Amino acid sequence: MNYIDKINSEGFSIVNNVFTENEIENLISLIENKTANNPENATFRKSQDLFAIRQFHKEIPETLDFIFNKNLNQIIESNFGKGYFITKSIYFDKPEKSNWFVAYHQDLTISVDKKIEAENFENWTVKQNQFAVQPPKEILEDNFTIRIHIDKTTKDNGALKVINNSHSKGILRIENLDFEKETETICEVEKGGIMIMKPLLFHASNKTTNNERRRVIHIEFSREQLPQGLEWSEKTIIQN
């Protein structure tokens, strides 16, 4: 279960067969029950092209027992070690006819509980009482993200595209990448598989063209302590 060499060199790795069909069905059931019974919830974002649940692990904490199964716990510990906790999670449901696409970008912000002046914390924003800020590069370099695929994801229904090894170049403007010299990979993942990626990896996704749904649970992890007075707003310790 050693994927860390590929993650360090390429910025990502794909691991299939992390979740059983039964575990995926349990996750789907919990999500559908929550969304059916709470249609006006403020953390839900709904449009014809995308349905999303922000703070997913806090909105539906019952999912954590299925998410952190033996396979995922072993993958995290054997590749990253101990001490990591959840800092953010989002559920994305891209419908069958979605024209929604995301241009190439790095994930540069973290969610925190309040706004305070802290050295090298910049580009503050606030949306629906949620503060976000760009932390020092060293924090982003140590963090990682796991995307759990509830549906088979291909180039035709919005699989992520990434620029291999772009995470090693620090914080960049996309126009400073020479695409003719870069390698692009389309990250197709089986149902029940995961994609592990670094926040500074440039990634994007295309529109859906095959009328197939794409549901993903996106979870960000860190082990970094923030400066005194600042705390991760969604921090949740992983219970093994």
> Which of 74-78, 80-84, 162-166, 206-210 has the lowest average pLDDT?
206-210
Q: Is the pLDDT of residue 240 over 80?
A: no
Question: Does residue 129 belong to any structural domain of this protein?
Answer: no
User: What domain count does the chain have?
Assistant: 1
SS3 for the chain, per residue? CCCHHHHHHHCEEEECCCCCHHHHHHHHHHHHHHHHHCCCCCCEEECCCCEEEECHHHHCHHHHHHHCCHHHHHHHHHHHCCCCEEEEEEEEEECCCCCCCEEEECCCCEEECCCCCCCCCEEEEEECCEEEEECCHHHHHHCEEEEEECCCECCCECCEEEECCHHHHCCCCHHHCCHHHCCEEEECECCCCEEEECCCCCEEECCECCCCCEEEEEEEEECCCCCCCCCECCCEECCC
Residue 23: which domain range? Answer: 4-104+146-237
Question: Does residue 9 belong to any structural domain of this protein?
Answer: yes
Question: Does residue 130 belong to any structural domain of this protein?
Answer: no
pLDDT of 179: 85
pLDDT of 42: 66
Question: Does residue 109 belong to any structural domain of this protein?
Answer: no
Question: Does residue 136 belong to any structural domain of this protein?
Answer: no
pLDDT tier for residue 86 given thresholds of 50, 70 and 90: very high
Reported as a single tens digit per residue, the pLDDT across 23-74 is 999 999 999 998 877 666 766 777 776 788 999 999 999 999 999 999 999 9
Question: Does residue 118 belong to any structural domain of this protein?
Answer: no
pLDDT of 49: 66
pTM over 0.75: yes
pLDDT of 39: 63
Q: CATH number of the domain at 88, please.
A: 2.60.120.620
Question: Does residue 128 belong to any structural domain of this protein?
Answer: no
pLDDT of 64: 97
